[in-house]
């Protein structure tokens, strides 16, 4: 892609997110209820806006950035709404979220290829659904992620809204969250370095963190959402706090990983042996 085409794509994305944010804020102002209810309404408006953009520009990648940016925006908004800047739990959970979200968004932006490129999973879905793709995209690529982000940020809201003293679960949440960010950071660095340097189309990364987990980046992703659950459970012990993290974990285990590995097996003959030796998600010592 030429530099000018990529720059145009950036401006289109920027304008789309400005529009989505504006409609989200407008919706929030006219939505009664708690800060969480208002955030959900604003998120729904933004989701519908980005879905419309994906239809207009024939690219479902418009929603990709929403996944990582929204929890950071929510955390900041709730810190203001509850004036929680002096609350240790609120600050800890918000800082972990900011580190996770900014890193993930930066990683996406650094390697984004513009509007002429679409994630291979979206391409596959488009091919499988044909004329029904607009409906499939709405539910699978917009409604589902919006639901998971909503459920996943509910514990974050509970953590920020509470003024209860810190407990052991808060420290567990901080450790899990920091570990998640580091795991995602180093696994992505290793993966992008391999993709730059590798010249063998049948080769795949088996070094560094990828020698201990077939998907260390996905493991870090799941860990972040569980870290937020730990902060919330320190406030109140409710299994409902885990709904979002369970949903993300299920999506990773039963959708993202199987799709990625099916593709890898079709392209790389030795991947099956790698599957046998190396842990699927959680880093662990490989089998002999």
Per-residue model confidence (pLDDT) at position 2? 74
Q: What is the pLDDT of residues 96-143, one digit of tens each?
A: 999 999 999 999 999 999 998 899 999 999 999 999 999 999 999 999
241's CB contacts (< 8 A; 6+ apart) are 154, 155, 158, 229, 232, 233
Query: In this predicted model, which residue has the larger pLDDT, 116 or 254?
Result: 254
| pLDDT over 90 at 73, yes or no | yes
Report if residue 122 sits inside a domain. yes
Give the range of the structural domain holding residue 51, as residue numbers without chain letter: 3-277
In terms of residues, how long is the chain?
Answer: 288
Report if residue 8 sits inside a domain. yes
Report if residue 85 sits inside a domain. yes
Q: What is the pLDDT of residues 148-166, one digit of tens each?
A: 999 999 999 999 999 999 9
- Cα angle: 55, vertex 108, 132; to 5 degrees: 25
Confidence of residue 80 (pLDDT cuts 50, 70, 90): very high
Report if residue 129 sits inside a domain. yes
The two tokens of residue 196 are: 């730059």
Angle between helices 243-251 and 216-233 (to 10 degrees): 170
Closest CA to 93 of 243, 230, 287, 221: 230
Q: Which residue has the tokens 């949903």?
A: 247
Per-residue model confidence (pLDDT) at position 47? 98
Confidence of residue 288 (pLDDT cuts 50, 70, 90): confident
Q: Which residue has the tokens 């003293």?
A: 165
The SS3 assignment for 268 reads: coil
Number of domains in the chain: 1
| pLDDT over 80 at 259, yes or no | yes
Report if residue 287 sits inside a domain. no
Distances (CA, A) of 23 to 53, 154, 159, 202, 277: 13, 22, 27, 46, 49
| pLDDT over 70 at 1, yes or no | no
| pLDDT over 90 at 209, yes or no | yes
The single-letter DSSP state of residue 254 is I
Report if residue 183 sits inside a domain. yes
- Mean model confidence pLDDT for the chain: 96
Instruction: Report d(CA 151, CA 218) in Å as an integer.
Output: 18
Report if residue 286 sits inside a domain. no
204's CB contacts (< 8 A; 6+ apart) are 264, 268, 270, 271, 274
Per-residue model confidence (pLDDT) at position 4? 82
Residue range 263-287: mean pLDDT, rounded:
96
Report if residue 172 sits inside a domain. yes
Q: What is the pLDDT of residues 269-278, one digit of tens each?
A: 999 999 999 9
5's CB contacts (< 8 A; 6+ apart) are 114, 116
Closest CA to 50 of 42, 74, 75: 42
The SS3 assignment for 197 reads: helix
Q: Yes or no: say if 27 and 37 are a contact pair by the CB < 8 Å rule.
A: no
Residue range 250-256: mean pLDDT, rounded:
97
pTM above 0.85, yes or no: yes
Q: Yes or no: say if 212 and 283 are a contact pair by the CB < 8 Å rule.
A: yes
């Amino acid at each position: 892609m030429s530099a000018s085409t990529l720059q145009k794509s950036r401006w289109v994305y920027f304008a789309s997110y400005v529009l989505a944010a504006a409609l989200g804020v407008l919706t929030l102002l006219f939505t009664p209820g708690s800060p969480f209810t208002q955030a959900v309404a604003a998120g729904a408006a933004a989701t519908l806006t980005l879905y419309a953009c994906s239809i207009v520009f024939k690219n479902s990648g418009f929603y990709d950035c929403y996944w990582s940016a929204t929890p950071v925006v929510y955390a900041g908004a709730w810190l203001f709404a509850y004036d929680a800047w002096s609350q240790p739990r609120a600050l800890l959970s918000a800082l972990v979220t900011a580190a996770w979200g900014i890193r993930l968004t930066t990683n996406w932006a650094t390697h984004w290829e513009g509007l002429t490129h679409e994630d291979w999973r979206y391409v596959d879905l488009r091919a499988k659904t044909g004329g029904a793709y607009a409906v499939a995209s709405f539910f699978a690529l917009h409604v589902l992620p919006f639901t998971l982000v909503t459920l996943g940020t509910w514990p974050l809201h509970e953590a920020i809204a509470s003024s209860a003293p810190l407990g052991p679960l808060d420290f567990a949440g901080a450790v899990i969250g920091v570990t998640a960010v580091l795991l995602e950071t180093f696994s992505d660095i290793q993966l992008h370095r391999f993709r730059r340097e590798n010249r063998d189309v049948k080769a795949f990364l088996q070094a560094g963190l990828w020698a201990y987990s077939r998907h260390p980046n996905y493991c870090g992703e799941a860990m972040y959402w569980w870290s937020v659950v730990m902060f919330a459970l320190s406030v109140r012990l409710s299994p409902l706090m885990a709904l979002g993290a369970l949903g993300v974990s299920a999506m990773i285990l039963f959708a993202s990983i199987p799709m990625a590995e099916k593709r890898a097996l079709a392209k790389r003959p030795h991947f099956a042996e790698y599957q046998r030796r190396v842990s699927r998600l959680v880093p662990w010592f490989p089998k002999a």
